[in-house]
């Protein structure tokens, strides 16, 4: 036996399992066909957040005069945004590679596949292992009639390498990918139209969150069609089933991602490959549970969509509950920090029952951070009266949690 563990895929699930096992004294080999970090590092979380941050800066500079600051935006170059994204990704990836190597993991940069439950093929070599973990991630989902060509019909991977902005874009789907790219393009003054098959934007979110985002889109001039889909495309003209006609420069098909998975008995499948929740932090905790024995509550996996304002939620939604639960909502206008930051659009909402929180839904600046106070309360079953005893700093967005629990 060459190694105790052989791991195929160097994304969040793969590298987390590899480092945990190596630190516990196991011999581990990790195979990665491209670059360490997987979808999250190279084609998802990290690069899009870098571009989003540039978009937010640009958007804020456009209204800088309101704060007594004069800015000339005539020299804006989108190619520099992409260069900044590339530098950010490379810097974080190098740090990750250093950490993985230092943990004692053997990294092999080769395309690998499973021969049997104890044998991995990579290049011209066979590697014998006591146990195989497969974590090869996912790829953009292709829809019939919207096959990717990399030019007119593109996926999120394609967008990360474009150095110029289109004048107009049609985005099909309003999940995390579609929503974040809607926000990026809109901030950079691209004409954006969204088509969503469901009856509301971000269908996985709490209904009140969806309605608020729809309102924000209307305020920003972002067009969207709900309960609609593409009927046909002729040249570059798009005909929707509703009868609407759109003439975009490009179409972003953002209908999610498809697992990449090789099935083999006796092999553990983690991350996006397993076809469950396709989030980097879900993959990390899956790997931690397997490799370090640290359990987590899958039903309480937090969801975050970035941009202005952030969207975050965990636990029960309004559409999941009956009359025995109570809904309490605090507008962020009640928080002094939101006025200081000129970020007053949004709310913090909790769903409670019997002195406990069961769901949390936030549309606000720093929502991704505020959510975790509420998530901790949900998971650890902390009574509302105990949260009232916690002293929150002022002015912050987090004190919205205190304001909420004091209203119940």
- Between CA 372 and CA 175 the distance in angstroms is 21
Domain over 309-407 is classified CATH 3.30.230.70: no
Q: Is residue 146 within a helix (H) or strand (E), and if so which, with residue range?
A: none
Per-residue confidence at 74, pLDDT binned at 50, 70, 90?
Answer: confident
What is the residue-wise DSSP string for 229-296?
-EEEEETTEEEETTS-EE--SEEEE-S-EEE-----TT-EE-GGGGTS---HHHHHHHHHHHHH----
Q: Is residue 65 within a helix (H) or strand (E), and if so which, with residue range?
A: none
Per-residue confidence at 73, pLDDT binned at 50, 70, 90?
Answer: confident
Buried residues in 195-213 as b, exposed as e (16+ CB within 10 A): bbbeebbbeebbbbbbebb
* pLDDT tens sequence across 346-395: 999 999 999 999 999 999 999 999 999 999 999 999 999 999 999 999 99
CB 375 within 8 A of CB 300: yes
CATH architecture for residues 142-253: 3-Layer(bba) Sandwich (3.50)
What per-residue confidence (pLDDT) applies to 261?
A: 86
Q: Is residue 385 within a helix (H) or strand (E), and if so which, with residue range?
A: helix 384-387
Query: In CATH, which of 3.40.980.10, 3.40.50.2000, 3.50.50.60, 3.20.20.150 is domain 3-139+257-292?
Result: 3.50.50.60
Q: Which residues pair with 129 in a beta bridge?
A: 3
* 155, 38, 282, 53: CA torsion to nearest 10: -60
Averaged pLDDT for residues 150-154 = 96
Looking up tokens 């990704």, which residue turns up?
89
Per-residue confidence at 82, pLDDT binned at 50, 70, 90?
Answer: very high
Residue 277 has pLDDT above 80, yes or no: yes
Going by C-alpha positions, the residue among 181, 367, 380, 220 that lies closest to residue 401 is 367
Buried residues in 325-338 as b, exposed as e (16+ CB within 10 A): eeebebbbebbebb
What per-residue confidence (pLDDT) applies to 1?
A: 64
- Between CA 177 and CA 158 the distance in angstroms is 13
Instruction: Please compute Rg for the chain using Cα positions.
Output: 23
* pLDDT tens sequence across 328-355: 999 999 999 999 999 999 999 999 999 9
Domain boundaries, the chain: 3-139+257-292, 142-253, 309-407
What per-residue confidence (pLDDT) applies to 64?
A: 86
What per-residue confidence (pLDDT) applies to 272?
A: 95
Total Cβ atoms within 10 A of residue 383:
14
The phi, psi pair for 279, rounded to 5°, reads -135, 145
Average pLDDT, the chain: 96
Residue 144 has pLDDT above 80, yes or no: yes
Going by C-alpha positions, the residue among 142, 195, 155, 186 that lies closest to residue 168 is 186
- Between CA 135 and CA 162 the distance in angstroms is 28
- Between CA 299 and CA 319 the distance in angstroms is 16
Contacts of 372 (CB under 8 A, 6+ apart): 302
CB 146 within 8 A of CB 19: no
- Between CA 82 and CA 94 the distance in angstroms is 18
Could you tell me the pTM of the whole model?
0.95
Q: For residue 407, give both structure tokens.
A: 């209203």
Q: Is residue 388 within a helix (H) or strand (E), and if so which, with residue range?
A: none
- Is 3-139+257-292's fold the same as 142-253's? yes
Going by C-alpha positions, the residue among 405, 347, 348, 396 that lies closest to residue 377 is 405
* pLDDT tens sequence across 232-246: 999 999 999 999 999
């Amino acid at each position: 036996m060459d190694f105790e563990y052989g791991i195929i895929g160097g994304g969040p699930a793969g590298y987390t399992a590899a480092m945990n096992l190596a630190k516990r004294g196991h011999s581990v080999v990790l195979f990665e066909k491209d670059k360490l970090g997987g979808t999250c590092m190279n084609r998802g979380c990290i690069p899009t957040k870098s571009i989003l941050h540039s978009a937010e800066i640009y958007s804020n500079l456009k209204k800088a005069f309101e704060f007594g600051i004069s800015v000339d935006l005539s020299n804006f170059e989108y190619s520099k945004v992409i260069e900044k994204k590339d530098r950010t990704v490379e810097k974080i990836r190098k740090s990750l590679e250093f950490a993985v190597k230092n943990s004692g993991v053997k990294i092999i940069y080769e395309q690998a596949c499973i021969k049997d439950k104890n044998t991995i093929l990579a290049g011209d070599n066979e590697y014998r292992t006591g146990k195989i973990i497969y974590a090869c991630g996912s790829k953009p989902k292709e829809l019939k009639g919207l096959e990717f060509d990399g030019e007119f019909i593109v996926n999120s991977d394609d967008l990360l390498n474009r150095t110029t902005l289109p004048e107009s874009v049609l985005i099909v789907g309003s999940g995390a990918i579609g929503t974040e790219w809607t926000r990026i393009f809109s901030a950079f003054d691209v004409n954006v139209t969204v088509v969503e098959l469901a009856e509301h934007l971000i269908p996985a979110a709490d209904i009140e969150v969806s309605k608020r985002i729809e309102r924000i889109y209307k305020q920003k001039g972002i067009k969207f069609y709900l309960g609609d889909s593409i009927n046909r495309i002729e040249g570059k003209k798009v005909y929707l089933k509703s009868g609407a006609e759109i003439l975009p420069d490009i179409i972003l098909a953002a209908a999610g991602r498809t697992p990449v998975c090789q099935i083999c008995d006796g092999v553990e499948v983690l991350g996006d490959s397993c076809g469950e929740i396709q989030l980097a932090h879900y993959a990390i905790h899956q790997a931690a549970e397997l490799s370090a024995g640290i359990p987590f509550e899958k039903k309480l996996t937090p969801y975050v969509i970035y941009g202005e304002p952030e969207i975050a939620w965990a636990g029960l939604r309004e559409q999941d509950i009956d009359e025995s639960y109570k809904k309490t909502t605090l507008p962020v206008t009640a928080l002094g920090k939101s006025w200081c930051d000129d970020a007053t659009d949004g709310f913090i909402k909790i769903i409670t029952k019997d002195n406990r929180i069961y769901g949390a839904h936030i549309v606000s600046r720093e929502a991704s951070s505020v959510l975790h106070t509420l998530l901790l309360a949900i998971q650890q079953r902390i009574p509302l009266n105990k949260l009232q005893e916690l002293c929150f700093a002022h002015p912050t967005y987090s004190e919205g949690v205190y304001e909420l629990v004091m209203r119940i």
